[in-house]
Amino acid sequence: MSKNATLEIDGKKYEFPVIEGTENEVAINIKTLRAATDGVITIDPGYKNTGSCESAITFLDGEKGVLRYRGYSIEELAEKADFLEVAYLLIFGELPTTEQLAKFDSDIKNQSHVDEDVKKILDGFPKSAHPMGVLASLTSALIAFNPTSVNVDSEEEMYNAIVRIMAKFPVLCAWAYRKNAGLPLDYGDDNLGYVDNFLKMMFKKPSGEYNSNKVMVNALDKLLILHADHEQNCSTSTVRIVGSSHAGLFASLSAGMSALWGPLHGGANQAVIEMLEAIKADGGDTKKYMAKAKDKNDPFRLMGFGHRVYKNFDPRAKIIKVAADEVLNDLGVEDPILEIAKGLEKEALSDPYFVDRKLYPNVDFYSGIIYRAMGIPVEMFTAMFALGRLPGWVAQWKEMRLRKEPIGRPRQIYIGENHRPFKSIDNR
């Protein structure tokens, strides 16, 4: 039976339909609010209570700590699937058959070249440039080199744009790193899998062979899967809203990368390691930093803690914590900041400030420790997040276009000056 919600303004009642998702999430559909009420709108800074779309890609229940891509639990996907399979699942809605996966893989490999002129653009950046700025710029630059990927309408054109970016983005990531590290730019090897190939592009020494390391490949596969989508977060909403103007896939992704870069979002993985290093350099006194995080007069926040949606454990953080122990063990790496991180977590989980506010470790708390053990420098951490999030952004952009969503254009409540006469410059 359909349900309605009633709104009363100045004694006048308005009815709005209540919609329900497949996991029984409930929303009041206020599409007709403004027209029916003669201009009343809702206001919700940070969109804490606002659903921007209906989506069939990712389900998360922040109270129960549940995360599923297309109905499959993140725990099962992280254990049993590889990243390319998960990318296919997110973008096309179903797990691929062997043939579908082989075709996706080979279509991506056929597009893995990046125009040599892109190297000239990369050359123009200083060596110290942050990889996220470089990646957002180069992803945008790809538009000029792939003009047929801009105005895509048919599913075939979309598919071609998707395999192009899935192929070229790992190359750009590896190039951003190699430029920073002073290494010659390299291409991959079509005989390797998607993740192994990425590691080769990153780490192959100019003078030596690349030897695949199964522990590294498995660890990175898992991390990328855990980051692959997270429904309507800041960067994904950016991708959808930019895409809603029909700006094109690459432009939308470039905007998403800029959103991801911020320390409250994907930039947190870099900020966590910098924070843990600072605590270590300061003698490892975690209590001091706990006190700073709780002090409202101190801007310091415990990075890697808290989440807009998860008010229980972030299921990704649980998997990553176990993986961190395993990977460091398998790679024979000892990292004192892992102990500092575990100490901070233990204290926070029994501290009323964190308990009352339901602040738990999020995906970024332990991921950097694994990246570091793999030899990935801290400036690249958010780029690794972007590499993982790429299929999620792509899937969300594709869904938005296929559902023919209208251009995103929120309203506002104006709180500035009322109309006033112009003052000439000598009277100001």
Nearest to 174 by CA among 200, 139, 201, 213: 201
Interacting residue with ligand CMC among 301, 311, 318, 342 (CB under 6 A):
301
Smallest gap from Cβ 277 to ligand CMC, in A, equals: 16
Smallest gap from Cβ 195 to ligand CMC, in A, equals: 21
CB 341 within 8 A of CB 310: no
* Geometric angle at alpha carbon 386, from 380 and 388, rounded to 5°: 110
Q: Which residues pair with 27 in a beta bridge?
A: 19
Nearest to 321 by CA among 389, 222, 388, 212: 222
Among the candidate windows 60-68, 181-189, 216-224, 360-368, which touches ligand CMC by CB under 6 A? 360-368
Interacting residue with ligand CMC among 170, 188, 248, 304 (CB under 6 A):
304
Smallest gap from Cβ 313 to ligand CMC, in A, equals: 13
Catalytic residue selected from 221, 229, 307, 314: 307
Rounded to whole angstroms, the Cα distance separating 220 from 381 reads 12
Rounded to whole angstroms, the Cα distance separating 70 from 239 reads 19
Q: What is the b/e burial string over 329-346, where b = at least 16 CB atoms within 10 angstroms of the residue's CB?
A: eebeeebebbebbbebbe
CB-nearer residue toward ligand CMC: 139 or 382? 382
Interacting residue with ligand CMC among 158, 199, 225, 359 (CB under 6 A):
359
Among the candidate windows 76-84, 136-144, 298-306, 404-412, which touches ligand CMC by CB under 6 A? 298-306
Task: Please list every residue from 248 through 267 that binds ligand CMC, using CB under 6 A.
Answer: 264-266
Should residue 364 be labelled a site residue for ligand CMC when binding is judged by CB under 6 A?
Answer: yes
CB-nearer residue toward ligand CMC: 49 or 191? 49
Phi, psi of 274 (to 5 degrees): -65, -40
CB 143 within 8 A of CB 232: no
Residue sitting closest to ligand CMC (CB): 306
Should residue 363 be labelled a site residue for ligand CMC when binding is judged by CB under 6 A?
Answer: yes
Should residue 302 be labelled a site residue for ligand CMC when binding is judged by CB under 6 A?
Answer: yes
Q: What is the b/e burial string over 77-114, where b = at least 16 CB atoms within 10 angstroms of the residue's CB?
A: bbeebbbbbbbbbbbbeebbeeeebeebbebbbebbeb
CB-nearer residue toward ligand CMC: 103 or 301? 301
Active site residue 227: no
**Amino acid at the residue 292:** K
CB-nearer residue toward ligand CMC: 18 or 264? 264
Rounded to whole angstroms, the Cα distance separating 354 from 357 reads 5
Should residue 311 be labelled a site residue for ligand CMC when binding is judged by CB under 6 A?
Answer: no
Among the candidate windows 7-15, 66-74, 106-114, 297-305, which touches ligand CMC by CB under 6 A? 297-305
Interacting residue with ligand CMC among 74, 77, 268, 376 (CB under 6 A):
268
Task: Report the greatest alpha carbon distance in the chain.
Answer: 79
* Geometric angle at alpha carbon 161, from 146 and 266, rounded to 5°: 100
Should residue 362 be labelled a site residue for ligand CMC when binding is judged by CB under 6 A?
Answer: yes
Task: Please list every residue from 122 through 161 that binds ligand CMC, using CB under 6 A.
Answer: none
Interacting residue with ligand CMC among 103, 308, 311, 342 (CB under 6 A):
308
Active site residue 314: no
Task: Please list every residue from 44 through 63 that binds ligand CMC, using CB under 6 A.
Answer: 46
3-class DSSP state of 175: helix
Should residue 293 be labelled a site residue for ligand CMC when binding is judged by CB under 6 A?
Answer: yes
CB-nearer residue toward ligand CMC: 171 or 383? 383
Crossing angle of the two packed helices 268-281 and 336-349, in degrees rounded to 10? 100
Interacting residue with ligand CMC among 198, 305, 393, 397 (CB under 6 A):
305
Q: Which residues pair with 73 in a beta bridge?
A: 68
Binding flags for ligand CMC, 329-358, as an x/- string (CB under 6 A): ----------------------------x-
Catalytic residue selected from 105, 221, 314, 364: 364
Should residue 172 be labelled a site residue for ligand CMC when binding is judged by CB under 6 A?
Answer: no
Concatenated DSSP letters for 79-127? Answer: HH--HHHHHHHHHHSSPPPHHHHHHHHHHHHTT----HHHHHHHHTS-T
Should residue 200 be labelled a site residue for ligand CMC when binding is judged by CB under 6 A?
Answer: no
Q: Which residues pair with 261 in a beta bridge?
A: none
Should residue 315 be labelled a site residue for ligand CMC when binding is judged by CB under 6 A?
Answer: no
Task: Give the residue numbers marked as catalytic.
Answer: 307, 364
Residues near ligand CMC (CB under 6 A) are: 46, 233, 264-266, 268, 293, 301-308, 357, 359, 362-364
